Structure 1
Amino acid sequence: MNIDKSILIIDDEENIRKYLGRAMAKDGFDVFTAEYGKEGLNLLVRKHIDIVLLDLNLPDINGLDVLKEIKEVDVQSIIIIITAYGDITSAVEAMRLGAYDYLTKPFDIEDIKIVINKAFKIIGLEDRIEGLQRQVDRFKDGELITRSKKMNDLLEFVERISKASTTVMIYGETGTGKELIADLIHKKSPRTSKPFVPIDCTSLPENLLESELFGHEKGAFTGAVGVKKGLFQVANEGTVFLDEIGELPLTLQAKILRVLETKSFRRVGGERYLEADVRIVAATNRNLKQLIEEERFRSDLFYRLNVVPIYLPSLRDRKEDIFPLIEYFVQLFNKKIGRNISNVSNQALKVLIDYDWPGNIRELKNVIEHMVITSKGNIIGMRNLPTEIRDIDKDVSFRSDHLIENDSEILPDYRKTKRDLIEGFERNYLKRLLEKNDWNISQSAREIKMHRSSFQRLARKHGLQRS
């Protein structure tokens, strides 16, 4: 489907309006320009504009006030801030108020095009209104909060497949919200009035886990003083969620396979087969195909479970969701702990958005809880950040400051300095990614959606190899 794209440039510098206008027109945008904030607002009252490039320093109205009014006039417009190099604080404040991103002057036209194209992909202009309504319906009572196009597409897929009783396999790193997705599948299914029973396959030793799953008869083992219902029986006509199924012992994998094939099971110590009318949703953070090769996971069970695979993105792949999640968790812990945090400092917010979140949403939730608990006032800031996150920010600042010495009158070459910074980031990022994945190049390349050969070439370029 072709989308008519419109852009409004609000900037008091005529040369910037013309420069950006020509470039955007070449890219197929319907271009509008305004020298003053009020002029831009008047246009937005009459016409919906997809993208607004907004300079914060306008002659008639403060850019932040223009931003607030745009959000009242047309909440669907995507606002990208243009700001002077030294005014990052205002840009971060603008993002808090609803701006999508910011660019500092002087900027390269290619940088603007990248941000705009990313904004179109993320927001999903084709079905914005319908998508927003569906999002309200989905998330009004849970932590499934997202602005991400990737996540919204995934959640629409979840709604479609929930109606059937097909088995579902959810893949995702630790902390990405696999149980929340499983619960959503249950809530959207015809089984919603019946139990949703989550089972952590890592929580118990094999003998106890079998009893927990299938129940036991009286006298089945020492301590079995009576008949116990297993979770499959408790979940009758509902949904069983098998979390971290990659950790399930092979003997129990065979019994789960039988449930899928025959819809029946036996209690530990029992002879009679009981009916298992349940939908099974499983999840893992492991590579099950690799476990099959290592003979630690049954291939027949894999194919039974993997009828509908769902791949959950990590938080670092949906950074636009970090700010709304921070807002949600601050309010959550305000209520739980009895605090009244009203704000996050700009500096702390920037660190939280820039951080990679290896523990994903769960780690973010824990960090915000820590910050709310340790705050003395109604604003949480840098001093409330856990040490390990604060130290990462210091390390980045240290390296940047030493490339551009503050007391030097002679600035280093711009292109070389920029290249050095980017290469330093690239090397450190790839090294951390490889270490996280035990130096598995294929898995690391997949995580950042890069061809294996390209990833290998970058790793060689930076001299990265297992020590």
Structure 2
Amino acid sequence: MSNSGQVWVVDDDRSIRWVLERALQKAGILPRCFSSAGQLLDALETSTPDAILTDIRMPGIDGLALLERLKASYPAIPVIIMTAHSDLESAVSAFHGGAFEYLPKPFDLDDAVDLIRRACSQGRRQRQERSEISDLAPAKTPEIIGEAPAMQEVFRAIARLARSHITVLINGESGTGKELVARALHRHSPRANKAFIALNMAAIPRDLLESELFGHERGAFTGAQSRRAGRFEQADGGTLFLDEIGDMPAELQTRLLRVLADGEFFSVGAHTPTRVDVRIIAATHQNLETLVAQGRFREDLFHRLNVIRVHIPPMRERRQDIPLLLRHFLLEASRELGVDAKVLLPDVEEYLCRLDWPGNVRQLENTCRWITVMAAGREVHLDDLPPELLQIRQHETVALAEGGWEAAFKRWVYDSLSRGGHNVAKDAIDVSEGILITTALQFTRGRRQEAAKLLGYGRNTLTRKISELKLDV
């Protein structure tokens, strides 16, 4: 049986060490046992395992104290905490300390071995993952992340508008990052040293919008105890970002049109105009042309705003960016919470890349935050995903049962092409052969000669394909 990793076990109970050692050896995992935390710490000075399994209550250095030292000096090693004293306080302390998992005694030996195998798998990949994360985290985080062709068009538009004061209309579905693009346009403009003021038309009550935009004079209405500058005045010399412009009431559309035409406005209750120099960037998830045709948006205002239009693509049109965004948001969430970044298993990442993400980047970011808080271990499995995403997976399973494997394969090909994949035929053959071989070996309980016969391979052919496909069997 292939080597499934090396785990160090520390427990002052000799019988527990003996039972685990035999079970792990049988499972192809190399164990090394210690009777105290001090012995393990000494051994770490010369070598390191893929994972560590430690009891929580031991003489001398207990499991939680050992966990604290390991996380400080060896953060890449997954640590499983086990104890016969299963209680909420111990579990919470273990997870707060950064434990991979909490294993209460008595435990099922097969479950324990499976958990240790998972921890070893993560440990082996941890150093590579940390290296990749370091590559993803330059001194200054990129303003906008994206490698898909549709996002490259956005970047080119920002670059072309870098030295411009021109009005820009950004359109895109909710959650695609329209304000992020607006801020990037401001940062790269001649107005970068002035204010960037944002206002969401849909978030402000209709009767307060006028005062919010244009300000008011003292005594202009009940409760106006003093003069207040509106968003236009606050943005003087800089940029005013009007989000969800399609929700702007008709009477305010007229006033906005005058500001765009004349550069001045009357605050509520004022008798003289206020002159401002403001660049307008507007955004909407709606089709303004349709609103114009329906009489819900002024056509002349539309043409004033629609000087330059920047379209932000939804996630389903930039699937190749999903892995990059997942890693970025998982790293960002880990920094905010002061924990290690979660690691998505390949099948989890592949599944997330297939989703349409109707909430777009915002939904993806929120999912990464949820995973960082709720996933039990550092290694994320499909069952660790939020319930709403698991429901989608269940629906896919039903669809597969109804449509057959051909429908699933057709979707795989489509998704691969939409992610900009090349050599899709070779990838499909490799994936298919990998599934055939691993499934046959599971069916024959690892007996290669029998698996080769079932697949119609020679024994040498099976061995060669396992090596070529780098299958972990």
Is the TM-score greater than 0.5?
yes
List per-residue Cα deviations over 1:144-174 (Å, max 9, x = no partner). Answer: 1111122112211211123111100001000
Equivalences for residues 396-415 of structure 1 within 5 A: 396-401=396-401
User: Counterpart in 2 of 1:333?
Assistant: 333
Distance of 2:137 and 2:193 partners within structure 1: 21
User: Counterpart in 2 of 1:201?
Assistant: 201
Q: Indicate if the aligned counterparts of 1:147 and 1:321 stay in contact, CA closer than 8 A.
A: yes
User: Counterpart in 1 of 2:316?
Assistant: 316
List per-residue Cα deviations over 1:407-443 (Å, max 9, x = no partner). Answer: xxxxxxxxxx6269759999xxxxxxxxxxxxxxxxx
2:328 is matched by which residue type in structure 1?
Y
Distance of 1:308 and 1:418 partners within structure 2: 44
Q: Equivalent residue of 1:217, what SS?
A: coil
Deviation at residue 375 of structure 1 after TM alignment:
1.7
Q: Within the alignment, does 1:344 sit opposite 2:344 as a pair?
A: yes
User: Counterpart in 2 of 1:418?
Assistant: 406
Distance of 2:407 and 2:367 partners within structure 1: 33
TM-score (ref. length: structure 1): 0.57
Equivalences for residues 259-298 of structure 1 within 5 A: 259-298=259-298
User: Counterpart in 1 of 2:97?
Assistant: none
Deviation at residue 228 of structure 1 after TM alignment:
0.4
Q: Equivalent residue of 1:297, what SS?
A: coil
User: Counterpart in 2 of 1:214?
Assistant: 214
Distance of 1:349 and 1:394 partners within structure 2: 17
Identify the structure with bigger relative contact order (alpha carbons < 8 Å, sequence gap 6+). Answer: 2
Q: Cα–Cα, structure 1 residues 293 and 403, in superposed 2: closer, same or farther, change >3 Å?
A: closer
2:266 is matched by which residue type in structure 1?
R
Distance of 1:185 and 1:420 partners within structure 2: 41
Q: Equivalent residue of 1:393, what SS?
A: helix
Distance of 1:371 and 1:258 partners within structure 2: 48
Distance of 1:423 and 1:357 partners within structure 2: 16
Q: Indicate if the aligned counterparts of 1:400 and 1:421 stay in contact, CA closer than 8 A.
A: no
Deviation at residue 394 of structure 1 after TM alignment:
2.3
Deviation at residue 199 of structure 1 after TM alignment:
0.6
2:330 is matched by which residue type in structure 1?
V
- Report percent identity of matched pairs: 36
Distance of 1:148 and 1:186 partners within structure 2: 23
Distance of 1:344 and 1:157 partners within structure 2: 33
User: Counterpart in 1 of 2:365?
Assistant: 365
Q: Indicate if the aligned counterparts of 1:341 and 1:380 stay in contact, CA closer than 8 A.
A: no
User: Counterpart in 2 of 1:376?
Assistant: 376
4+ runs deviating over 2 angstroms = 139-143, 397-404, 417-426
Structure 1 unmatched runs, 5+? 1-88, 98-134, 405-416, 427-467
User: Counterpart in 1 of 2:447?
Assistant: none
Distance of 1:246 and 1:331 partners within structure 2: 35
Q: Indicate if the aligned counterparts of 2:165 and 2:279 stay in contact, CA closer than 8 A.
A: yes
Q: Equivalent residue of 2:202, what SS?
A: coil
1:371 is matched by which residue type in structure 2?
I
Q: Equivalent residue of 1:400, what SS?
A: helix
- Structure 1 or 2, whichever has the larger Rg, is 2
Q: Equivalent residue of 2:297, what SS?
A: coil
Equivalences for residues 91-110 of structure 1 within 5 A: none
User: Counterpart in 2 of 1:386?
Assistant: 386
2:357 is matched by which residue type in structure 1?
W
Distance of 1:180 and 1:292 partners within structure 2: 26
1:387 is matched by which residue type in structure 2?
P
Q: Cα–Cα, structure 1 residues 263 and 155, in superposed 2: closer, same or farther, change >3 Å?
A: same
Q: Indicate if the aligned counterparts of 1:370 and 1:384 stay in contact, CA closer than 8 A.
A: no
User: Counterpart in 2 of 1:80?
Assistant: none
1:418 is matched by which residue type in structure 2?
E
User: Counterpart in 1 of 2:468?
Assistant: none
Deviation at residue 347 of structure 1 after TM alignment:
2.4
Task: Report how many residues are paired.
Answer: 283
List per-residue Cα deviations over 1:239-293 (Å, max 9, x = no partner). Answer: 0000000000001111110110000011101111111100000000001111111
1:394 is matched by which residue type in structure 2?
Q
User: Counterpart in 1 of 2:190?
Assistant: 190
Q: Indicate if the aligned counterparts of 1:242 and 1:282 stay in contact, CA closer than 8 A.
A: yes
Equivalences for residues 102-181 of structure 1 within 5 A: 140-181=140-181
Q: Cα–Cα, structure 1 residues 361 and 288, in superposed 2: closer, same or farther, change >3 Å?
A: same
2:194 is matched by which residue type in structure 1?
K
Q: Cα–Cα, structure 1 residues 200 and 419, in superposed 2: closer, same or farther, change >3 Å?
A: closer
Equivalences for residues 47-62 of structure 1 within 5 A: none
List per-residue Cα deviations over 1:363-382 (Å, max 9, x = no partner). Answer: 00111111111022212222
Q: Equivalent residue of 1:169, what SS?
A: strand
Q: Indicate if the aligned counterparts of 2:176 and 2:312 stay in contact, CA closer than 8 A.
A: yes
Q: Indicate if the aligned counterparts of 1:341 and 1:377 stay in contact, CA closer than 8 A.
A: no
List per-residue Cα deviations over 1:56-86 (Å, max 9, x = no partner). Answer: xxxxxxxxxxxxxxxxxxxxxxxxxxxxxxx
Q: Indicate if the aligned counterparts of 2:400 and 2:408 stay in contact, CA closer than 8 A.
A: no
1:180 is matched by which residue type in structure 2?
L
Q: Within the alignment, does 1:395 sit opposite 2:383 as a pair?
A: no
Distance of 2:412 and 2:163 partners within structure 1: 48
Structure 2 unmatched runs, 5+? 1-120, 130-135, 415-473
Q: Within the alignment, does 1:246 sit opposite 2:234 as a pair?
A: no
1:229 is matched by which residue type in structure 2?
A
Q: Cα–Cα, structure 1 residues 194 and 424, in superposed 2: closer, same or farther, change >3 Å?
A: closer
User: Counterpart in 2 of 1:452?
Assistant: none
List per-residue Cα deviations over 1:214-253 (Å, max 9, x = no partner). Answer: 1100000000000001111111100000000000000111
User: Counterpart in 1 of 2:300?
Assistant: 300
Distance of 1:163 and 1:242 partners within structure 2: 20
Q: Cα–Cα, structure 1 residues 420 and 334, in superposed 2: closer, same or farther, change >3 Å?
A: closer
2:284 is matched by which residue type in structure 1?
T
Q: Equivalent residue of 2:310, what SS?
A: strand
Q: Indicate if the aligned counterparts of 1:169 and 1:305 stay in contact, CA closer than 8 A.
A: yes
Q: Equivalent residue of 1:199, what SS?
A: strand
TM-score (ref. length: structure 2): 0.56
Q: Cα–Cα, structure 1 residues 423 and 237, in superposed 2: closer, same or farther, change >3 Å?
A: closer
User: Counterpart in 2 of 1:20?
Assistant: none
Q: Indicate if the aligned counterparts of 2:191 and 2:239 stay in contact, CA closer than 8 A.
A: yes
1:174 is matched by which residue type in structure 2?
S
